[in-house]
A and B are shown apart, each in its own frame.
Chain A
Amino acid sequence: MQAILAMIRKDLQLFLADRRAVVMGLVAPVAIASFFGSIFSGSPNAERVKIPVAIIDQDRTAVSRGIVEGARGDQYLLVSNPTADEARDAVKKGTLAVAVIIPQGFGDAAGRAFFTGAAKPELNVLYDPSRSTELGLVRGVLTEHIMQSVSAEMFTGDQGRTLVDDTLAAIDAMPMAGQQQAMLRDLLQSARKFYSAPAPAAAAPAAPGATAAAQAPRRGLSMPYAVKEEAVTSGDNVSYNGYAHSFAGMGIQFLLLASIDLGVGILLERQRGLWKRLRSAPISRLSLLAGKAASGSLIALLTLTVSFAFAMIVFGVRIQGSLIGFAAIALATALMASTFGLLVASLGKTPGGTRGIASLSVLLMVMLGGAWVPSFIFPAWLQRLTVVIPARWAVDGFDAMTWRGLGLQAAVLPTLVMLGFAAVFGTLAVARFRWEEA
């Protein structure tokens, strides 16, 4: 035990001796987690980022103007009106996500299609293929504005009145049964009559000479529901704090990167002949590795503690769940990271080569573990695969104990899984460690 304590003390002295490395080891995760947290925090007061969209109105009808006006007032879109060539160039350069060209004749054709199912006009959409997510959002938002504008014009506008009149006049010639023709005629006449009547809210006297259509407010189809959103967090008055997730993810990333230093440090000790001195002392192999694992775990715990303390003080992250559960997950994560470092040392040969391969494996691990981006965006098969990634269990465990506010029970599985990983890493390290020092 004395030897193990001596190794822990020595490793802590070595860690603290390089002050620049200490500062970087503690500051880097805090800085990067703060950045990621600010991006993904989801603060209700944060300024909403609008998607830049160009709308080129080549139709210049009431319908197309309605679409443009509707889009301009939308909270998700930032609308500009360049020429078609300028828009294509901007999309190509990546300064514009989507450009929508409303071609000439769109309003009339859309109106006819609206009532009779005639050929639908095409809307020309140019988009940046690297921003297909934004295309999906723009498509959905525009659908609402197009439906509103087309229906409003069809029921209350001059263009719509003409179209309705034309359609009424053409009903007899339409290839449909007499009963259906009568029903369509009734529908169009009733709709025109209904929307031509003054709306209750527009009871003020109309300007002299104004037509009935002009007097009536433009009303079309609108969304037949409202959305009540509720973020499910640890409590009714507790909002989601994205910093909790980012500090967990980045904390684990830097823990694993620090574990590479532990492994490479052992290889450097061997290279410098220090391991000969350790092995010549009457100490068991298990004690030597246990001392290394213990010192690595303590340094990992220190890193985690500093990171989360910063997140709590500066960004208001709270352990909304079980404090004991949080501590258990932190301890298990630290053990997992330090035994991973031992595994790196046991599999590596030269310090330089080992660092490169180990860094790649850590980056893959944290990426697949959801430390950078949420794992739900991965394909289903990859999501299933991530259960064998310890970083994922650590991130999920910390999320559960912080912003999700789950109890001690939710910490049990992540803790056990990471202890299992630690046992596997440690066993492999002992089995594969090169003990002979010739």
Chain B
Amino acid sequence: MLDVRGLRKAYGDLVAVHEISFSLNAGEVVGLLGPNGAGKTTTVSMIAGLVVPDGGQVLIDGSPLAGDTDPKKQRIGLVPQDLALYDELSALSNLQFFGALYRLSPAVLKTAIDRSLTLVGLADRARDRVGTFSGGMKRRLNLAASLLHDPDILLLDEPTVGVDPQSRNAIFSNLETLKAQGKALLYTTHYMEEVERLADRVVIVDHGRVVAADTLDGLQQYAPTGAGRVSLETIFLALTGRTLRD
């Protein structure tokens, strides 16, 4: 469904992303892991159309994504790391606005809002101001806002940062539901246990390059010699090193 081929992005002399390639299929969750500054967010930004790549292509069902108004962007939903919501407005007003950006008719939008709010468990808070929501509720609404246009591909950039275990668990349940519906999920995070729970495959990037891409079982080939079956975190540290990244 989504093919990332040779994506490249440089800011002056700094090459943020260097020839990154991977694919994402329907009903699949791919975990995109990497230390700080590895190029995860830049990669997600290029897929979402926020950043123009210097090289490479983003293909959706074999067709390259081209330009700001490409209708294929309709098939992508972005869940930004930031809580990209208007605190001053109600949850309903937020969703009405974000849905209208995808040119949904009023009737379709209403259905989509009801469906999304129900999925994230906020249907009874639709008319409340977002500013009154807890961090976990905002995270769930952040997810709901990305689902209104019923995208096939969901890009999740650290969607559980700063939430309590209950809200995190609720979000996981939502994502599993979406996966079961056949959505393709690209999930970036620093929490290894989240990837171990959700991901079918893992892409580990460092210094703008893919250093490993496989299933959780397949990644065991990168485990230190003689260590037996190890955690994803051990493999991650083995591949990216223990040097601090600031």
Q: Does B219 contact A (CB under 8 A)?
A: no
* Contact between B81 and A273, CB atoms less than 8 A apart: yes
Q: Which of A145-153, A197-205, A279-287, A306-314 contacts B (4 or more CB under 8 A)?
A: A279-287
Which residues of A in the span 268-300 have a Cβ within 8 Å of any Cβ on B? 272-274, 276-285
Indicate if B22 sits at the interface (CB-CB under 8 A). no
Cβ of A2 within 8 Å of any chain B Cβ, yes or no, is yes
Cβ proximity bits B91-109 to A, threshold 8 Å, 1 near / 0 not: 0010011101111000000
What CA separation (Å) do A244 and B19 show in the bound complex?
64
Q: Which of B20-65 contact A (CB under 8 A)?
A: 41-42, 45, 48-52
Does A46 belong to the interface (CB within 8 Å)? Answer: no
A6 x B49 contact (CB < 8 A): no
Assess the B84–A283 pair: CB atoms within 8 A.
no
| Residues of chain B within 8 A of A13, CB atoms compared | 88-89, 93
**Cα A10 to Cα B86 with chains together (Å):** 9
The residue from B69, B76, B81, B146 contacting A284, defined by CB atoms under 8 A apart: B69
Q: How large is the interface on A (under 10, 10 to 19, 20 to 34, 35 or more residues)?
A: 20 to 34
Chain A min CB distance to B114 (Å): 19
* Given A277-B80, A282-B68, A438-B42; A9-B50 close (CB under 8 Å): no
A277 engages B145 (CB within 8 Å): yes
Given known contacts A437-B45, A438-B42, A280 and B73 CB-to-CB distance under 8 angstroms: yes
Contacts of B51 in A (CB 8 A): 436-438
A5 to B89, CA, bound (A): 17
Instruction: Please measure, in the bound complex, the distance between the C-alpha atom of A2 and the C-alpha atom of B80, giving whole angstroms.
Output: 23
Asked whether B93 lies within 8 Å of A280 as measured between CB atoms, the reply is: no
Return B20 CB to nearest CB of chain A, in Å: 14
CB–CB A10/B69 < 8 A: no
At the interface, yes or no: A17 with Cβ under 8 Å from chain B?
yes
Contacts A274-B86, A437-B51 given; indicate if A280 touches B100 (C-beta within 8 A): no
Interface of A, helix, strand, loop or mixed by DSSP: helix
Complex alpha-carbon distance, A436 and B76, angstroms = 18
A218 to B81, CA, bound (A): 93
Interface of B is mostly: loop
A272 and B73 contact, CB distance less than 8 A? no
B83 within 8 Å of A by Cβ?
yes
Which chain B residues lie closer than 8 Å to A227 at the CB level?
A: none
B71 interfacial by beta-carbon distance below 8 Å: yes
Establish whether residues A277 and B78, one from each chain, have CB atoms under 8 Å apart when the complex forms. Answer: yes
> For residue B80, which residues in chain A have a CB less than 8 angstroms away from its CB?
273, 276-277
Q: Does B52 lie within 8 Å of A283, measured CB to CB?
A: no
For residue A14, CB closer than 8 A to chain B, the reply is yes
Q: Which residues of A contact B146 (CB under 8 A)?
A: 277
**Interface residue? B174 (CB, 8 A):** no
What residues on A are CB-neighbors of B103 within 8 Å?
A: 2-3
What residue in chain A is nearest B46 (Cβ atoms)? A438
Q: Are A273 and B93 in contact (CB under 8 A)?
A: no
Q: How many residues of B contact A (CB 8 A)?
A: 36
Say yes or no: is B74 at the interface (Cβ < 8 Å to chain A): yes
- Please give, as numbers and ranges, the residues of chain A lying within 8 Å of B50 by CB-CB distance: 276, 279-280, 436-438
B246 beta carbon closer than 8 Å to chain A? no
Note all chain A residues with C-beta closer than 8 A to B85: 274
Within 8 A of B (CB), among A335-365: none
| Chain A window 5-29, contacts with chain B (Cβ cutoff 8 Å), 1 for yes, 0 for no | 1110110011001100000000000
Q: Is the beta-carbon distance between A282 and B82 smaller than 8 angstroms?
A: no
Q: Give the complex CA separation of A5 and B16 in angstroms.
A: 37
The answer to whether B86 touches A281 (Cβ under 8 A) is no
CA distance A278 to B48 in the complex (A): 11
The listed residue (A280, A282, A437) touching B71 by CB distance below 8 A is A282
Task: Tell me the bound Cα distance from A14 to B93 in angstroms.
Answer: 10
**Does B100 contact A285, Cβ atoms closer than 8 Å?**
no
In the assembled complex, the CB of B27 is this many whole angstroms from the nearest CB of chain A, namely 22
Q: A2-B103, A3-B103 are in contact. Are A274 and B68 (CB under 8 A)?
A: no
Q: Find out whether the CB atom of A14 lies under 8 angstroms from the CB atom of B78.
A: no
B139 CB to nearest A CB, Å? 13
**Contacts A276-B78, A279-B49, A280-B73 given; does A14 touch B86 at CB 8 Å:** yes
Q: How far does the alpha carbon of A273 sit from the alpha carbon of B50 in the complex, in Å? A: 11
- Chain B's nearest CB lies how many Å from the CB of A266? 13
Q: Are B83 and A10 in contact (CB under 8 A)?
A: no
User: Is the beta-carbon distance between B70 and A282 smaller than 8 angstroms?
Assistant: yes
A17 to B89, CA, bound (A): 7
Known A276-B82, A278-B101: A438·B88 in contact at CB below 8 Å: no
A285 and B88 contact, CB distance less than 8 A = no
A273 to B101, Cβ gap below 8 A? no
Chain A residue nearest to B47 in the complex (CB) = A280
Are B69 and A282 neighbours in the complex by a CB distance under 8 Å? yes
User: How far in angstroms is the closest Cβ of chain A from B36?
Assistant: 14
Contact, CB under 8 Å: B78 / A280: yes
A18 CA to B97 CA in the complex, in Å? 18
> Chain A: which residue is nearest B45 at the CB level?
A438
Which of B68, B84, B101 makes the CB contact (< 8 A) with A276?
Answer: B84
Query: In the bound complex, how far is the Cα of B49 from the Cα of A284, in angstroms?
Result: 11
Inter-subunit contact B93/A10 (CB<8 Å): yes
Inter-chain contact B89/A9, CB cutoff 8 Å: no
Inter-chain contacts of A436 with B (CB < 8 A): 45, 50-52
Q: State A7–B76 Cα separation when bound (angstroms).
A: 21
Q: A17 to B98, alpha carbons, bound, how many Å?
A: 18
Kindly list chain A residues whose C-beta atoms are within 8 Å of the C-beta of B82: 272-274, 276
Smallest CB separation, B48 vs chain A (Å) = 4
* CB pair B88 A274 closer than 8 Å: no
Q: How far is the CA of A7 from the CA of B89 in the complex (A)?
A: 13
Which residues in B have their C-beta under 8 angstroms from that of A277? 78, 80, 84, 98, 101, 145-146
User: 26 A–B contact pairs at CB < 8 A?
Assistant: A2-B103, A3-B100, A7-B97, A10-B97, A13-B93, A14-B89, A272-B84, A273-B83, A274-B82, A274-B84, A274-B85, A277-B80, A279-B48, A279-B68, A280-B48, A280-B50, A280-B73, A280-B76, A280-B78, A282-B102, A283-B69, A284-B69, A436-B45, A436-B51, A437-B50, A438-B41
Pairs A-B, 6 closest by C-beta atoms: A273-B82, A6-B100, A281-B101, A437-B50, A282-B73, A273-B84
Knowing that A10-B86, A280-B48, A280-B78 are A-B contacts, what are 15 other residue pairs whose CB atoms are under 8 Å apart, sorted by A's residue number?
Answer: A2-B103, A3-B103, A9-B100, A10-B93, A13-B88, A13-B89, A18-B88, A274-B84, A274-B86, A278-B101, A280-B49, A282-B70, A283-B68, A284-B69, A438-B45
